[in-house]
Amino acid sequence: MTKRNLDDLAIFGQPPAFAEELCVGRPNIGDRRALLARIEQLLDSRWLTNNGPLVQEFERRVADLLGVKHCLAICNATVALEIAIRALGLKGEVIVPSFTFIATAHALQWQEITPVFCDIDPRTHTLDPALIEDLITQRTTGIIGVHLWSQPCAIEQLTDICERRDLRLLFDSAHAFNCSYGGRMIGNFGDAEVFSFHATKFFNTFEGGAITTNDDELAAKIRLMKNFGFAGYDQVVYLGTNGKMPEISAAMGLTSLESLDEFVAVNRRNYQLYQAEAANLPGLSCFHLNEAERNNFQYIVFEVNETETGISRDDLVNVLWAENIKARRYFYPGCHRMEPYRTLYPGAGELLPATEALTERTLLLPNGTTIGPDEVNTICEIIRTAITHSNAVKRQLSSR
């Protein structure tokens, strides 16, 4: 590894460390030939969408992988959340974390359901089950637990609360495809779970998502709802929407499935390298994944402790962006500080101290098949240089 000095940094006028951007969320792409063959096949068949053969095969393969009875492929996870919320009959108030992607809250608010933001456990970054019961009111109908960074949230405690208080339990599992909890695959818990297969996820279908459930009745309802409520030609039995996944997305999904193990192996190698580097980055800690469970190792999440680094998380992001390293601050500033929630629920932050603190500390670094050991080393070396010379870096950034 080349040691870097302060004046090697791009913020001091040097060329960026990388000519092309390294991104959190750069898509993994499997075997192009296999993908192109599937695209030829779908073009030849002239069957492009509406529950075509590739979508059906994709649903079967995903259900097999997860060991779940039903997988319903959807055009994206946001629509999947909206459909699952409606199919479960959620209304009134639903308890959710604010420390999540905005889609979790929007899927509720879009249907005029109030997202009641609950704080997180700073160790797990997910809903703190000890805080939930105080938020339950007469209007509460359910909880949406979010599995973040591929780590399951407190599944057992949330299940227990929902059983005792007669609430529905939905999981936003956008980050947790190919992960397990207690040896059982994520996708099998609660009333239903929602996955995202967006381009930025380690496994993608360009855009896409899925709802999984072991409930036959719920699955049948969702299948109708995602196709306008059509039960047959000219026969509509529910209020539905268009949540269908097109064939081209299923083609990408089937191809990505064939490379799943390779994507995970690369992510895992990089995750372990970042973990090892973290030991030499004072003031930074790398979020630990439970390697005893199945995991996708997609997210590299550091927490920046500014009193130890001498430099803020945001200044580190600026240093990295100058080097063409698109580090991210997920999930800054928290849903409750974005519209419409900031205006609708101005006091929400008072109940969210752990969320507010964490949104100021997280730093996500690139992972995936475009990242190798050299990239990990260089990224960490740049961070180390910025920390070692924190005062000079801060002066330089404020003078720009």
Please report whether residue 361 would count as binding ligand T4K according to CB under 6 A. Answer: no
CB of 85 to ligand T4K, least distance (A): 12
Rg of the chain taking only CA atoms, in angstroms: 22
Total chain residues near ligand T4K (CB under 6 A): 23
CB of 250 to ligand T4K, least distance (A): 15
- Helices 77-87 & 216-225, crossing angle to 10 degrees? 120
Please report whether residue 105 would count as binding ligand T4K according to CB under 6 A. Answer: no
E strand segments, the chain: 22-23, 70-74, 93-97, 114-118, 140-146, 168-172, 180-181, 184-185, 192-196, 209-213, 230-232, 235-236, 284-286, 300-304, 325-326, 362-365
Q: 61 burial class (0-12, 13-18, 19+ CB within 10 angstroms)?
A: middle
Q: Answer for the pair 286, 275: CB distance below 8 angstroms, yes or no.
A: yes
Binding region for ligand T4K (CB under 6 A) out of 17-25, 281-289, 343-351, 371-379:
17-25
Tell me whether residue 23 or residue 348 sits nearer to ligand T4K (CB atom): 23
Which of 98, 104, 150, 270 touches ligand T4K by CB under 6 A? Answer: 104
Backbone dihedral angles phi then psi of residue 357, each to the nearest 5 degrees: -70, -45
Return the DSSP state at 271.
H
Q: For residue 251, give the 3-state DSSP assignment.
A: helix
Please report whether residue 145 would count as binding ligand T4K according to CB under 6 A. Answer: no
CB of 224 to ligand T4K, least distance (A): 21
Please report whether residue 108 would count as binding ligand T4K according to CB under 6 A. Answer: no
Q: Answer for the pair 23, 232: CB distance below 8 angstroms, yes or no.
A: no
Please report whether residue 175 would count as binding ligand T4K according to CB under 6 A. Answer: yes
Binding region for ligand T4K (CB under 6 A) out of 179-187, 192-200, 219-227, 271-279:
192-200
Q: Answer for the pair 208, 198: CB distance below 8 angstroms, yes or no.
A: yes
Tell me whether residue 38 or residue 175 sits nearer to ligand T4K (CB atom): 175
Return the DSSP state at 239.
-
Tell me whether residue 172 or residue 303 sits nearer to ligand T4K (CB atom): 172
Which of 82, 172, 191, 381 touches ligand T4K by CB under 6 A? Answer: 172
Q: 91 burial class (0-12, 13-18, 19+ CB within 10 angstroms)?
A: middle
What's the CA angle centered on 314, arms 310 and 320, to 5 degrees? 95
Please report whether residue 101 would count as binding ligand T4K according to CB under 6 A. Answer: yes
Please report whether residue 146 would count as binding ligand T4K according to CB under 6 A. Answer: yes
Q: Which position's Cβ is nearest ligand T4K? A: 25
Please report whether residue 274 would count as binding ligand T4K according to CB under 6 A. Answer: no
Please report whether residue 103 would count as binding ligand T4K according to CB under 6 A. Answer: yes
The site for ligand T4K (CB under 6 A) is made up of: 23-27, 76-78, 100-101, 103-104, 146, 172, 174-175, 196, 198-200, 209, 326, 330
